[in-house]
Amino acid sequence: MVNWQVIATTIYCDAVDDDVTFLVYKDGSAKCVAYKQKYGESIKKETAKMLNKKGKKLGRELKCEGPECHRLIAFKDKCFAEEEAAAKS
């Protein structure tokens, strides 16, 4: 049984060269706040330009991976694995 409503963490995301916040909910859903607010499907022209500029400086393409982001999935899996381990103890 999950003893929490939501877990949040902020990490450095190298896909967009920025700090992003992940939210994991007890129903198993997860989202990246930066994807929803900044780097998602409705990306603003200024944000896209900024990503291109940062990418050129870093020598690689910067692009948000969205809901399929391996960082988000790994964090969600970690949260539920820790909860399962705690329940067995």
Q: pTM here?
A: 0.87
Q: Give how many domains the chain has, as a whole number.
A: 1
Structural domain includes residue 34: yes
Write out pLDDT tens, residues 8-61.
Answer: 999 999 999 999 999 999 999 999 999 989 998 788 999 999 999 999 999 999
**1 pLDDT more than 60:** no
Q: Is 73 helix (H, G, I), strand (E, B) or coil?
A: helix
Q: Whose structure tokens read 């896909």?
A: 15
Structural domain includes residue 1: no
- Residue 23's domain comprises 6-88
Write out pLDDT tens, residues 59-87.
Answer: 999 999 999 999 999 999 999 999 888 88
| Cα distance between residue 15 and residue 60, in whole Å | 10
Tell me if 63 sits within 8 A of 50, measured CB to CB: no
